[in-house]
Structure 1
Amino acid sequence: MAKKSKKEENPKVNPELEGFKMNINSFGEISSSFSIDKINEFLNQNVEDKKLKDRKDMEAIKKRKKK
């Protein structure tokens, strides 16, 4: 049986993260095509923090961020 070669397909991602690539070199260092600040900003806007979701003051914080 011949092994099938896998074609490298780009994963489906949010349009804001189009072109995002992440690599780990032989020393274990992580490099990416986006800055850490841009990644964190995206995560803050789009991912709910499970640890903070039950806080009573979270609605007020979300309103301040939207302004």
Structure 2
Amino acid sequence: MTRSLKARYGFQRTESKPKVNSELEGFDIKINSSGEIESSYTVDQLNEFLNRNVYDKKLKNEGEIE
């Protein structure tokens, strides 16, 4: 007697796109049938974006030596 989530809770799928940073407009990533990752951006482009926008707490004390 299990019902689907839609029937039980009234969930509906929406076709809206998620909110993304304006620099990542057009970014698309997929995994093909052989398990390879296909992306519209290169790894270097993604790393540049992450370096500019994400704080890495592991590098916080890199300059300090005890």
RMSD between superposed Cα atoms in Å: 2.3
* TM-score for the superposition, normalised by structure 2: 0.68
Q: Percent identity?
A: 56
Higher Rg: 2
* TM-score for the superposition, normalised by structure 1: 0.67
Return 5+ residue gaps in structure 2 as ranges: none
Shift of residue 56, structure 1, vs aligned partner: 2.4
Give the SS at the match of 2:59.
coil
Q: Which stretches of structure 1, 4 residues or longer, exceed 6 Å deviation after superposition?
A: none
Query: Do residues 23 (structure 1) and 4 (structure 2) align?
Result: no
**What is the rounded CA distance, in whole Å, between the counterparts of 1:30 and 1:56 in structure 2?**
35
Structure 2 partner of 1:10: 17
Structure 2 partner of 1:44: 51
Shift of residue 31, structure 1, vs aligned partner: 0.6
